[in-house]
Chains A and B, each alone.
Chain A
Amino acid sequence: MPLEAHIKEHPAYFHRFDALWTPTVLILDSNGEERYRNEGYLPKDEFRAQLELGLAREAFMNKNWSEAERRYGEVLDRYPNTKAAPEALYWKGVSHYKATNDHTVLGELAEQFKQKYSDSIWALKTLAWDH
């Protein structure tokens, strides 16, 4: 569900939601909790990928692990060459782990990061699982 908040029409919304810069995009869950924030312009594909990351994050934060894993997988499939992709790979694996409690998933994730996105900060976050 999309809400438009233009600074000239609804300046109070900027204060209400702590938007200090434009463009800012927020994704709130159905209870009104902020789950994602993006500030500043991005190229079209990077922006789309970020929005889909935001929807995946919303599912993750609501402990909807299967939906989160599916959404992160979609980011990877649709935008494999964006800056969002390594983050999506990381959280896809974590979502799977949260759903299954199968810790071998995390080691496999570390292996995957050796093959792809190895220079990302997300790869560094998997080093602890690399045995």
Chain B
Amino acid sequence: MLVQWKKDADEALAEAKAAKKPLLIDFSAAPA
């Protein structure tokens, strides 16, 4: 399953709140 990663934190937080779902944040420094 392909993960649809969000890029905007405020947008993701707002969507998580609206959906009443947790938000996972992946902090990475790995080369793309």
Contact = CB atoms under 8 A, between A and B. Distances in A.
B27 A1 contact: no
Q: Report whether over half of chain B's contact residues are helix, strand or loop; otherwise say mixed.
A: mixed
Most-contacted residue by chain A among B7, B20, B25 (CB, 10 A)? B25
A7 B29 contact: yes
Interface in A1-48: 1-10, 13-14, 16-17, 19, 22-32, 35
Given A17-B27, A22-B27, A25-B25, A1 B12 contact: yes
Contacts of B12: 1, 3
B17 A3 contact: no
A3 B26 CA distance: 6
B28 A1 contact: no
Contacts of A32: 13, 16-17, 23
A17 B12 CA distance: 14
Interface of B: 3-9, 12-13, 15-17, 19-30, 32
